[in-house]
Structures are given as structure tokens and as C-alpha cells.
Amino acid sequence: MKKFDYIVKVSEGLHARPAGLLVKCAKDCSSDIKILNAGKSADAKRLFSVMSLGVKQNDKITLTAEGNNEDNDLEKLKLFCEKNI
């Protein structure tokens, strides 16, 4: 399993639009992708699961990838986060 931490920069946090984009990116990954925030975990491939975390601006999230392609998948998610959230 690989992981990385990211501080959310968008003022709205992970509301519907950026959460939906994150889910779309995660669904393109072959690995199992999880997002962790404040001791809670969610399947990053499920919109309602991601939104239930209530991620706000300046929250530190951790994204994990577990699977055969975890290095590439995590790199894809890092790029996504830097551009979108």
C-alpha cells in the first residue's frame, strides 16, 4: 500500500463538484483507493462516501492506493489534487 498526504486548498473543501472529479479520477485507477480525514475513511470511488467525510479547506487528507498499479495510480491522484483541490 502506498499513500500521500495533501492539504485541501479550495475554499469550499470537497463539495459536490471537486468530490465528483476526485471520484472520477479514482475510478480510472485499477487500485483500491481510500481517502482518510479526521480519523474517518471512505472509498474514493464512491461520491457519497467521499462527501460524508466533510472535508473542508485546510484539512489534511490522506489518499491510499493498494493494488498492482498503486505507484502509477497514486501519481495520477497527486497530480489531480495539485490541479483541482
Name which CATH class applies to 2-84. alpha beta
Q: What is the structure's pLDDT at 77? A: 95
Residue 15 bears catalytic tag: yes
67's grid cell: 493494488
pLDDT in tens, 6-49: 999 999 999 899 999 999 999 999 999 999 999 999 999 999 99
Q: Of residues 2, 6, 12, 15, which has the active-site annotation? A: 15
Q: What is the structure's pLDDT at 22? A: 96
Distance in angstroms (rounded) separating the CA atoms of residues 1 and 65: 6
Mean pLDDT of 41-70: 96
pTM of the model: 0.91
Q: What is the structure's pLDDT at 36? A: 97
